[in-house]
Amino acid sequence: MAKIIFVLAAIMMLMNGIVAVDHIVGDDSGWSTPSSTNFYSSWADRQNIVVNDTLVFNFNTDAHTVAMVPREAFDACDAGNAQIHNVGPTEITLNETGTFFFICTVNGHCESGQKLAVNVTDS
């Protein structure tokens, strides 16, 4: 009987999206200056990111940064007063639905396409 309850609980957790997923940003390329300006948008289009999933930005410390910024700052490649993560890897858990924007603040990297917009859904 205990096994049946455990299995049912596990199924319910999966159905409710409780099992979070780590998404390695850029897959094997990691978080780096991309070969094309649409590299990270193409990567994001292939992801199904839901609440409580984590983005893992793999990069060498001090070679790149990650800053979560508003849309306007994303478009302008300007971190403004955003918290800047400069120690790699950096993990960011997405706790709510919406579109979230990330840039690298190293001079010229965002302008070269090292920027990411992700849409987070309920399921």
pLDDT tens profile 38-51: 999 999 999 999 99
> What is the distance between the terminal CA atoms of the chain, rounded to a whole angstrom?
30
Please give the residue that has the higher pLDDT: either 40 or 6. Answer: 40
Q: Which whole-number Å values give the CA distances from 108 to 9, 32, 64, 76, 105, in the listed order?
A: 49, 12, 11, 12, 8
What does pTM read for this prediction? 0.85
